[in-house]
């Protein structure tokens, strides 16, 4: 049997009551080239009763306090995008699958339904780059459903998008208003002088393999305990998992001993903005700053995991100084200029941003996964929560080509 999804045409969900119009600025962090992308992900729910109309109405209610989300991205001046608050609303798609979630293996990889069938897209006359957020509810024959979301990273970071969706969940559950009041205040973020641009990055299309590996809580705790024993300090799950992937990958790709291997990730800076924003808690714009570490291939291949965890922790601790310098206009170089060659690995932690905590009335999702995993210009690792009731971290990996895949997986399984 061929599994498929039947979609209704996309419709506009307008705010439940009138909202302000006009133009709103984006922050200097929002406007960095690194976040001008759309982000796609799926939430999988085990059961729900007629969820589409309930969620559709909840979006309409949430778009009143979150009225900028119902607008569109415009660019009156080149390089200066902003949000035009039109009161139009968001695109919403209702869909039905001809199968149960069990039939398609709970949407585990490899997907048995093309991802395009689970994700919303606007009508052809609409420019996807101008859209702030879209949603699709797909109902399965078993009573389960998925919510597919596409959002503009120009307007939200992951935590900000999760904050909005939690508010939609609260409206769906009958709350009169969101428990966290949304804050725009993009103009409060400093706008330091732009640093001179370096040469444009060169892009190589790699042929990365898609690999899914789970690291158990037990393995993570063992490394945490080892770190505590040797250093007298604590470390996070992120530190441990990142150290494991970086070393395993360095050993698998086996570059020349003095070749550079680089690690990059976006760190949250919300805790550094309490004196800048009127309320950090309700702010849903981008609050991230890139962290990068460069070492020789031999250094990382031969280092202990405790040593690599220490490198990651040191880089995170240096973030405060670097971000404050940047806000004060004292940054010396463009922090987004990272070579996009095979030696660079980027990691992104989706396990804690909040998408797993969205409740539309039938409990939190069994599983949340991103669908932005077809990028081939830089090696990437995405951290997810595994489907319930499993514990630990699920890794969605596109970071090695076929000739290095077997060794990489062998190295990873030693520590999983």
Among the options 30, 40, 61, 153, which is catalytic?
Answer: 153
Number of residues that this document lists for the chain: 416
- Is 153 part of the annotated catalytic residue set? yes
State how beta strands 379-384 and 344-349 pair: parallel
Which residues, including other chains, have CB under 8 Å from residue 262's CB and lie 6 or more apart? Answer: 292, 293, 294, 338, 339, 343, 344, 345
- Is there a contact between 151 and 130 (Cβ–Cβ < 8 Å)? no
Q: 3-class DSSP state for residue 414?
A: helix
- Three-state helix/strand/coil letters over 50-92: CHHHHHHHHHHHHCCCCHHHHCEEEEEECCEEEEEECCCCEEE
Burial class (CB in 10 A: 0-12, 13-18, 19+), 52: buried
Asked about 21 being catalytic, the answer comes back as no
d(CA 293, CA 301) in angstroms, rounded, equals: 15
- Taking the CA atoms of residue 153, residue 158, residue 163 and residue 165 in that order, the dihedral angle to the nearest 10 degrees is 70
Q: Find the angle CA(349)-CA(354)-CA(358) to the nearest 5 degrees.
A: 145
The residue annotated as part of the active site, out of 103, 298, 359, 373, is: 359
Concatenating the DSSP letter of every residue in 357-408 gives: G--SSS-S-SEEEE------SSEEEEEEPPSTT--SEEEEEE--BHHHHHHH
- Residues identified as active-site: 153, 359
């Amino acid at each position: 049997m061929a599994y498929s999804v039947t979609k209704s045409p996309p419709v506009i969900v307008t705010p439940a009551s009138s909202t302000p119009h006009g133009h709103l600025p984006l922050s200097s962090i929002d406007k960095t080239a690194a976040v001008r992308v759309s982000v796609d992900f799926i939430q999988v729910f085990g059961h729900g009763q007629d969820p589409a109309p309930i969620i559709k109405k909840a979006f309409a209610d949430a778009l009143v306090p979150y009225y900028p989300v119902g607008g569109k991205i415009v660019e009156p001046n080149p390089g200066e995008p902003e949000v035009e608050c039109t009161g139009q609303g968001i695109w919403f798609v209702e869909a039905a699958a001809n199968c149960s979630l069990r039939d398609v293996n709970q949407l585990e990889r490899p997907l048995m339904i093309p991802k395009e069938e689970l994700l919303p897209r606007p009508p052809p006359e609409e420019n996807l780059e101008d859209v702030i957020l879209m949603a699709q509810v797909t109902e399965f024959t078993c009573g389960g459903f998925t919510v597919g979301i596409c959002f503009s990273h120009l307007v939200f970071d992951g935590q900000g998008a999760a904050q909005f969706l939690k508010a939609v969940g609260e409206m769906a559950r009958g709350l009169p208003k969101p428990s966290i009041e949304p804050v725009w205040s993009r103009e409060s973020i400093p706008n330091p002088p732009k640093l001179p641009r370096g040469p444009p990055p060169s892009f190589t299309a790699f042929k990365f393999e898609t690999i899914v590996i789970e690291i158990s809580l037990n393995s993570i705790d063992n490394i945490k305990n080892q770190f505590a024993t040797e250093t007298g300090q604590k470390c996070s799950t992120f530190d441990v998992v990142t150290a494991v992937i970086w070393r395993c990958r360095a050993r698998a790709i086996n570059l020349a001993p003095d070749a550079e291997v680089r690690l990059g990730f976006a760190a949250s800076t919300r805790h550094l903005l309490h004196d800048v924003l009127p309320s950090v808690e309700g702010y849903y714009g981008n609050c991230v700053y890139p962290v990068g570490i460069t070492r020789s291939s031999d250094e990382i291949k031969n280092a202990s995991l405790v040593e690599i965890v220490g490198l990651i922790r040191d880089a995170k601790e240096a973030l405060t100084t670097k971000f404050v310098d940047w806000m004060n206009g004292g940054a010396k170089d463009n922090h987004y200029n990272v070579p996009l060659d095979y030696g660079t690995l980027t990691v992104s932690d989706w396990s804690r941003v909040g998408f797993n905590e969205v409740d539309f009335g039938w409990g939190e999702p069994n599983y949340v996964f991103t669908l932005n995993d077809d990028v081939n210009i830089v090696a990437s690792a995405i951290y997810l929560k595994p489907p319930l009731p499993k514990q630990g971290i699920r890794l969605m990996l596109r970071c090695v080509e076929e000739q290095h895949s077997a060794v990489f997986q062998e190295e990873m399984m030693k520590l999983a």
